[in-house]
Amino acid sequence: MRPFTYERATDSRAAVTAVSRAGAKYISGGTNLLDLMKLDIEQPSHLVDISRLPLKDIDELPDGGLRIGAQAVNSDVAADGRVRTRYPVLSQALLAGASGQLRNKASVGGNLLQRTRCPYFSDTAAACNKREPGSGCSAIGGFNRIHAILGASDACIATHPSDMAVAMTALDAQVELLGADQAVRHVALVDFHRLPGNTPHIETVLQPGEMITAVVLPPPPPGRQLYRKVRDRASYAFALVSVAAIVAAERGTITAARVAFGGVAHKPWRGTEAEAALIDHPASGATFRAAADAAFASAVGRGHNNFKIELAKRTLYRTLAQVTQPDEDTP
Amino acid sequence: MSNVVDRNSADIAAKTTQIALTINGLDRRLELDPRTSLLDALREHLHLTGTKKGCDHGQCGACTVLINGRRINACLTLAVMHEDDDILTIEGLGSPGALHTLQAAFVERDAFQCGYCTPGQICSAVGMLAEAKAGWPSHVTADVGSRDIVLTDGEIRERMSGNICRCAAYPNIVAAIRDVAEDART
Amino acid sequence: MTAMIGKPVNRVDGPLKVSGQATYAYEHWENDVGQPLYGFIVGATIGNGRIARIDTTRAERAAGVQLVMTHLNAPVQGIPTPDPSVPLPYWVAKPELSSPDIHHYGQPVALVVATTFEQARAASNLVDVEYTAEPGHYEFAARHDQAYAPKTLVMGIATDTAVGDFDSAFAGAEVKIDQRFTTPYEFSQPMEPNVCLAVPHRDGEELTAYVSTQIVSAARARIAKTLLMDPQRIDIVAPYIGGGFGSKLAVHAETILALLAARQLKQPVKVAMTRQQIFQLVGMRTTSSQRVRLGAERDGRLVALAHEATMYANPQEEWAEPMAAFLRSLYAAPNRLTRHRLVPLDLQGNEDVRAPGEAPGLLALESAMDELAHALAMDPVELRIGNEPTRDPERDVPFSDRRLVECMREGAHRFGWEGRPARPGSRRDARWLVGYGMAAASRGHPQAPTKARVRIGADGNAVVQSDMTDIGTGTYTILTQVAAECLGLPMDRVRVELGRSEFPTSWGSGGSWGAANSSNAVRRACEALCEKQRTADGRIPAEGLEAEGEIVGASDDPNFTNYSMSSYGAHFAEVGVDIDTCEIRLRRMLGVFAAGRILNHKTARSQLIGGMIWGVGAALHEEAVIDSRSGAFVNRDLAEYLVPVHADIPEIDAIVLDGFDDKANALGVKGIGELSICGAGASIANAVFNATGVRVRDFPITLDKVLPGLPLAEV
Ligand SMILES: Cc1cc2nc3c(=O)[nH]c(=O)nc-3n(C[C@H](O)[C@H](O)[C@H](O)COP(=O)(O)OP(=O)(O)OC[C@H]3O[C@@H](n4cnc5c(N)ncnc54)[C@H](O)[C@@H]3O)c2cc1C
Ligand code: SF4
Ligand code: FES
Ligand code: FES
């Protein structure tokens, strides 16, 4: 870990100003940043501690939505009564992530901005376009069991590891940002993270110095919500694939559907093709299969991760069955 | 050629900062490199070695301590970030002659072997029981909307999964925690 | 004399451990230690080749740096020469930074020592190294044509054996199984990393090493031979060890480098491997490809039995795991062979990982036995019982105490084995396919030379001393019990002191020999002491009384030649396999074991359960993956090298049959530290087959390997 100076920000505006200096970075829970600093992957020279900013509240919005402060920690969001009853998919996703200890530290903002778990990314000796643009991608032709099947490029096949962001993507969340110019803007979460393309080191649309101040959830969409995470051990493991599904059905016909996937792409992946295949169709096995096929029609395996295509399809299939038929075995 | 370097103490001193921490109810002043994790501050500077380093990357739970009553991984946080916090470590929980109920239950249930993950397991269990008491759901809670949290063995296991025990004392750890949780209920 | 041996008493070191007061190697802040400096290891980023240039200038200029040691300035060290008196490599020199040659990825190329840990770690990134890389061989599967037969296996065990005429018997067998199983690289990864706090005295002429080690005498010997010092000038202190599982039988780079630096700087230096470094600097369980051939009559009687294991070896540090050797005494069959081959690769040397040999070997063999039972439509328990030998089938000597059948019968009864799904893939519980599996466990019982001392003071309090270690195995507790019983004292009047080189020597904790060795040595010491007390008319003189006890190694004990000695067990597991995703979850598990006399039923059960859970990891989770381009372990941390967590482990129980092996030793004790991992994984693999009808022969059984065999379950 390289030497750095440290300051604790007292208000958001001051924080944004403080981080504008070269080499400065925000630190919130620190559970991802410090992890990577110890490995010499992140090398900030100045840390602006925003963990005590008054951005921890979860507020009701007039339209029936919620505004979740960026400094709210994952456990508090997951345990919030309004989130639990109105956005259970978000509680479920948060609770499926990391461990009790980590969730007590991890902030909403930091969770969105956590970096990939690609092992070559965190190994300074390996070529990695994300860490060192132009150096190559060790995962292609290497051990890529946890890597992307959708939206990857020949420059990078990493995945975004967040569970929380998958649920938020299905919920049509907006990210509230405070810019270096002190202006506030909102970006839809689906547009917040980028695909790798030729610039895998640019992961989001954040401008330099911009701070996440909140995530805004629109009013809960109609239908039942479910998050399903598939992993190699029962807990404390990242998703191989995960599915967030919010589906409404009337008299056996699907009237509204939102689907998002984790563990499959460089960003939380909104399954628009699957949604199109669901809406106005009967809530049946044939429909779920069609949705699964549509969702992964363009999926590409890279060797060790080939199984993810079939796994993701099956996970979606079952999640849809469960969310539309409450009698289906719950996870 | 000699690779023994002259110690340049000015250089080191310039980079440290003064911090004050409250640990196990005591105020401790420290002169620290800001890079120092809370874990290393405890172990290497305050010689409170009950908190263990298993991985230094949030991947094992051996370093679990309680900050303002909540369990966290001391390896993934900086000491300087915890001024004004109330830090509780295993040493503050009980001592060999005056064990905390969980510590006593761990001994009784033989909930450890090498003992290296044990302080972390115990601190984690203290935090976990408080979380359950506050009605927090977990990944295995059938209905996250329900406020009624029954601390089944399955719930204990899921909630304790951030603490790896390579000796694999898991069934005994669950038994020890169950004993304490049941006692608290009755 | 009150009976203390066997009692399920609480661990005597328990209160210290649960309150964070037990002091592990990195944690000695006693006044006589002093403020240590911190060392950080820099590892090679190539797998084969040499250092072309190494420039330490930037690192040396970094804040707080006291020393950067590389092969250019490291002192001369001893070279590894086999020690004929000890058939294990851990007593042999292990020089570090001794040449520019790189033999494996991560090999230390520098040690940076600084005032603080943060400074040392930061400066480690400033050591500039240029390498001349050479092509290396890292891919096991691609190099089988290079396999060779080692002279012997570890501990001098024979490489190959054959009885009868396997080939023709197998060819003529009515029912045949001929399958190849593969097992991955696995690491012990105890929770306490490999660490050393090195403290110099008298200008570095004497050294104290606070070290996390399983064998104090091996640590001392290796250090003395490497640092070219008189062993008497080296003091080893290891009162508490945060787990070992084989990975701390030897001391590694952390200890050698900390001591070299401390001696040179004349200041205490401590070095801990990072978790990531442990994956490159400590030996792992070898990967393997195992061919198992079973030929049987229709009634299940085996007529031909062959187990051939191909493993990897580092040519510099050949270490041949006896992966098929256990089979030589497990099942009866007139025609049989076992064979071991090694494939040289440019990886770090492999080492012991809990139950070397049996653990991976039984995964394969006991899976194959299940395949045979399935092919014969026989109860797997009955198949095994039908092949129970009356004498050791290869050595043709009697068994000292063999209760495998009892373990299987008892386990089957308690587990409800008769309720198992008769057909694979036939039972469903909600979204889970449910299956039962069983497997046998067996583990050879070794014995190693061990000494202990007992002293009793005029106050009537006794002290037991040995350089034996307690790595979580309960040594403090069982030796307290043994001494209390033998001396007729209450337990609180006995203090056990372990893990110091100044105490009588042993082979420490390893190979499941620790408890039997040390308890019997203590018993002898107590008897000698009682004898002395008797000659002193029962009085204890003011200066107290002292006596030593000793037991010899297996090769000097005729019982080990005249009898086949093992401990036994049987595992029963129930798993659920998700009908869609094929996630596998253990639902319950039972082990029944017979290992002679049990010294403490509470700590023994804990250790047995722990081993069973290692079997869960081996069956379902653990795999260290090599990048065949660089020779590095890719998933080298605890977030990607998965070991079971709480949520993976349901109710598990371990039951021990009371016993006494009078051939093993005077106390009738055999080892249990490794027994329960043996076969545990196979019982789970067999349960997965029973649940799904899919047989995975490539361990670990991750969901991706089951998925292709299981069709989508339609709604
Ligand atoms: C062992 C382990 C297992 C894990 N398992 C999971 C899992 O299963 N699922 C999962 O989803 N996650 C998992 N995580 C990741 C965890 O969720 C993240 O580390 C955490 O959410 C990051 O939040 P933080 O507040 O600690 O971020 P920090 O580490 O503080 O920050 C991360 C990044 O975000 C930036 N940042 C933080 N806040 C803001 C802000 N408000 N505005 C702008 N920039 C900001 C920082 O500069 C930094 O670059 C795991 C982590 C570990 C260590
Ligand atoms: S997948 Fe992306 S993060 Fe991983 S090595 Fe390739 S470029 Fe780097
Ligand atoms: S040391 Fe902090 S989680 Fe492992
Ligand atoms: S008791 Fe050894 S790791 Fe848990």
ipTM over 0.95: yes
DSSP code, position A88: H
> C627 vs A143: CB contact, 8 Å cut-off?
yes
DSSP code, position C240: B
Ligand 4: distance of its center to the CA of A72 in Å? 33
Best probe of the B interface among C111, C121, C607, C646, by most B CBs < 10 A, is C646
- Output the pLDDT for position A327: 60
| Ligand lying closest to the C-alpha of residue C606 | 4
**Could you tell me if the CB of A152 is within 6 A of ligand 2?**
no
Domain count, chain C: 3
**Total number of residues shown for chain C:** 715
| Ligand lying closest to the C-alpha of residue B112 | 4
- Output the pLDDT for position B186: 67
Helices C475-487 & C514-535 angle (0-180, nearest 10): 30
Q: Looking at the domain assignment, is residue C18 inside a domain? A: no
The radius of gyration computed from the CA coordinates of chain B, to the nearest angstrom, equals 19
Q: Looking at the domain assignment, is residue C309 inside a domain? A: yes
Does C648 contact chain A (CB < 8 Å)?
Answer: yes
Q: Which helix (H) or strand (E) holds C128?
A: strand C128-133
Identify the CATH number of the domain in which residue C57 sits.
3.90.1170.50
* Alpha-carbon dihedral A288, A293, A298, A304, rounded to 10 degrees: 100
Bond preceding residue C700 cis, omega within 30 of 0: yes
- Output the pLDDT for position B183: 83
Atom 3 of ligand 2, residue of closest alpha carbon: A121
User: Higher pLDDT residue, C218 or B183?
Assistant: C218
Ligand 3 closest atom vs CA B59: 3
pLDDT bin (cut points 50, 70, 90) of residue A328 is low
| Ligand lying closest to the C-alpha of residue C189 | 4
Same domain, C58 and C123: yes
- Output the pLDDT for position C82: 83
- Count CB neighbours of B182 within 10 A: 10
Distance of CA C479 to the CA centre of its chain: 22
Interface of C with A in 37-56 (CB under 8 A): 45
- Output the pLDDT for position A325: 84
Same domain, C648 and C573: yes
* Alpha-carbon dihedral A289, A291, A295, A301, rounded to 10 degrees: 0
- Output the pLDDT for position A326: 65
Ligand 3: distance of its center to the CA of C54 in Å? 33
Task: Single out the residue of B35, B40, B36, B41 nearest to residue B22, CA to CA.
Answer: B41
Domain with C617, as residue range(s), is 154-186+284-445+561-709
Same domain, C160 and C108: no
> C634 vs A142: CB contact, 8 Å cut-off?
yes
Q: Are strands C335-344 and C302-313 parallel, antiparallel or unpaired?
A: parallel
Distance CA B66, CA B157 (A): 19
**Could you tell me if the CB of B106 is within 6 A of ligand 4?**
no
Query: Structure tokens of C195?
Result: 């660490």
* Closest Cα in chain C, distance from residue B84 (Å): 24
DSSP code, position A23: T
Does A134 contact chain B (CB < 8 Å)?
Answer: no
Ligand 4: distance of its center to the CA of C182 in Å? 29
Does C121 contact chain A (CB < 8 Å)?
Answer: yes
Touching B: which chains, 3+ CB pairs < 8 A? A, C
Distance of CA A173 to the CA centre of its chain: 11
Same domain, C69 and C213: yes
Domain final position from C211, C238, C272: C272
When CB atoms are compared, the residue of A30, A85, A95 closest to B139 is A95
Same domain, C575 and C684: yes
Same domain, C264 and C305: no
Backbone angles phi, psi at C194, to 5 degrees: -75, 120
Domain final position from C227, C245, C272: C272
Instruction: Specify the 3-state DSSP secondary structure of B67.
Output: strand
Distance CA B24, CA B74 (A): 15
- Output the pLDDT for position C337: 98
DSSP secondary structure string for all residues of C458-510:
TTS-EEEE-S---SSS-HHHHHHHHHHHHHT--GGGEEEE-SBTTSPP---S-
> A234 vs C648: CB contact, 8 Å cut-off?
yes
Q: Looking at the domain assignment, is residue C149 inside a domain? A: no
When CB atoms are compared, the residue of A3, A119, A318 closest to C122 is A3
The radius of gyration computed from the CA coordinates of chain C, to the nearest angstrom, equals 26
DSSP code, position A55: -
Same domain, C456 and C472: yes
Does C561 contact chain A (CB < 8 Å)?
Answer: no
> Which residue is closest to A235 within chain B, CA to CA?
B161
Interface of A with B in 80-109 (CB under 8 A): 81, 84-85, 88, 91-92, 95-96, 98-102, 104-105
Q: Is the pTM of this model over 0.90?
A: yes
Ligand 4 closest atom vs CA B112: 1
DSSP secondary structure string for all residues of A189-204:
HHHHB---TT-TT--B
**Could you tell me if the CB of A29 is within 6 A of ligand 1?**
yes
Instruction: Specify the 3-state DSSP secondary structure of A276.
Output: helix
Task: Single out the residue of C662, B71, C657 nearest to residue A75, CA to CA.
Answer: B71
Q: Looking at the domain assignment, is residue C77 inside a domain? A: yes
Q: Are strands C37-43 and C584-594 parallel, antiparallel or unpaired?
A: unpaired
Identify the CATH number of the domain in which residue C479 sits.
3.30.365.10
Distance CA C90, CA C230 (A): 17
Distance CA C371, CA C175 (A): 11
Put residue A208 in one of left, alpha, beta given phi > 0 → left and psi -120 to 50 → alpha: beta
Q: Which helix (H) or strand (E) holds C626?
A: none
Q: Are strands C269-272 and C161-163 parallel, antiparallel or unpaired?
A: unpaired
- Output the pLDDT for position C511: 86
Evaluate whether C274 touches B53 at the Cβ level (below 8 Å).
no
Q: Residue A290 class from Cβ within 10 Å (0-12 exposed, 13-18 middle, 19+ buried)? A: middle
Q: What's the angle, vertex CA C447, arms to CA C441 and CA C448, rounded to 5?
A: 140
- Count CB neighbours of A45 within 10 A: 13
Q: Residue C260 class from Cβ within 10 Å (0-12 exposed, 13-18 middle, 19+ buried)? A: buried
Residue B12 has pLDDT above 60, yes or no: no
Domain final position from C223, C239, C272: C272
Distance CA C343, CA B8 (A): 50
Q: Between chain B and chain C, how many beta carbons pairs sit less than 8 Å apart?
A: 230
DSSP secondary structure string for all residues of C71-113:
TTTPPP-------TT-SSGGGS----S-SSEE-STT-EEEEEE
Same domain, C333 and C461: no
Evaluate whether A78 touches A91 at the Cβ level (below 8 Å).
yes
Residue B15 has pLDDT above 80, yes or no: no
* Closest Cα in chain C, distance from residue B147 (Å): 22
Same domain, C242 and C95: yes
Task: Single out the residue of C204, C269, C329 nearest to residue C28, CA to CA.
Answer: C269
**Could you tell me if the CB of B165 is within 6 A of ligand 4?**
yes
Long-range CB pairs of B181-185, under 8 A, 24+ apart, other chains included: B181/B129, B181/B132, B181/B151, B181/B156, B183/B101, B184/B129
User: Residue written as tokens 């009537």?
Assistant: C460
Distance CA C34, CA C395 (A): 56
Distance CA A114, CA A26 (A): 12
Pick from A27, A34, A51, A105 the residue to mutate for probing ligand 1's pocket: most ligand atoms within 8 Å of its CB. A27
Residues of B in contact with C73 (CB under 8 A): 1-3
Query: Structure tokens of B53?
Result: 């380093």
| Ligand lying closest to the C-alpha of residue A163 | 1
Evaluate whether C647 touches B161 at the Cβ level (below 8 Å).
yes
Q: Dihedral sign, CA of C345, C351, C354, C360?
A: positive
Residue C186 annotated among the catalytic residues of the structure: no
- Count CB neighbours of A326 within 10 A: 8
- Output the pLDDT for position A330: 44
Same domain, C637 and C686: yes
Residue A81 has pLDDT above 90, yes or no: yes
Ligand 2 closest atom vs CA A152: 1
Evaluate whether A110 touches A35 at the Cβ level (below 8 Å).
no
- Output the pLDDT for position B11: 42
Q: Looking at the domain assignment, is residue C649 inside a domain? A: yes
**Residue C546 CA: distances (Å) to CA of A226, C449, C488:** 70, 20, 16
Evaluate whether A41 touches A130 at the Cβ level (below 8 Å).
no
Q: Looking at the domain assignment, is residue C247 inside a domain? A: yes
Ligand 1: distance of its center to the CA of C690 in Å? 41
Across the strands, what pairs with A46? A5, A24
Q: Looking at the domain assignment, is residue C109 inside a domain? A: yes
Interface of A with C (CB under 8 A): 1-3, 38, 40, 117, 119-120, 123-126, 138, 141-143, 145-146, 230-238, 240, 284-285, 288-289, 307, 310-311, 314-315, 317-318, 321, 325, 328-329, 331
Number of alpha helices (DSSP H) and beta strands (DSSP E) in chain A? 12, 12
Across the strands, what pairs with C465? C453, C497
Q: Looking at the domain assignment, is residue C16 inside a domain? A: no
Interface of B with A (CB under 8 A): 15, 17, 33-35, 37, 56-58, 61, 64, 70-73, 76-78, 80-81, 124, 127-128, 131, 134-139, 141-142, 144-145, 147, 157-164
* Closest Cα in chain A, distance from residue C619 (Å): 12
pLDDT bin (cut points 50, 70, 90) of residue B6 is very low
Same domain, C223 and C371: no
Averages of pLDDT over each 10 residues, chain C, 715 residues: 91 98 97 95 98 98 97 97 84 97 98 98 98 97 97 95 98 98 98 98 97 98 98 98 98 98 98 98 98 98 98 92 97 98 97 97 98 98 98 97 98 98 96 97 95 96 98 98 97 98 96 93 97 91 96 95 97 97 98 98 98 98 98 98 98 96 97 96 98 98 97 84
Same domain, C83 and C224: yes
Evaluate whether A230 touches C581 at the Cβ level (below 8 Å).
yes
* Closest Cα in chain A, distance from residue B91 (Å): 19
Residues of A in contact with B164 (CB under 8 A): 236
Residues of B in contact with C651 (CB under 8 A): 153, 171
Backbone angles phi, psi at A75, to 5 degrees: -65, -40
DSSP H helices in C228-352: 253-265, 275-281
Distance CA C254, CA C282 (A): 10
- Output the pLDDT for position C1: 59
Q: What is the mean pLDDT of chain A?
A: 97
> C122 vs B35: CB contact, 8 Å cut-off?
yes
Distance CA A326, CA A330 (A): 8
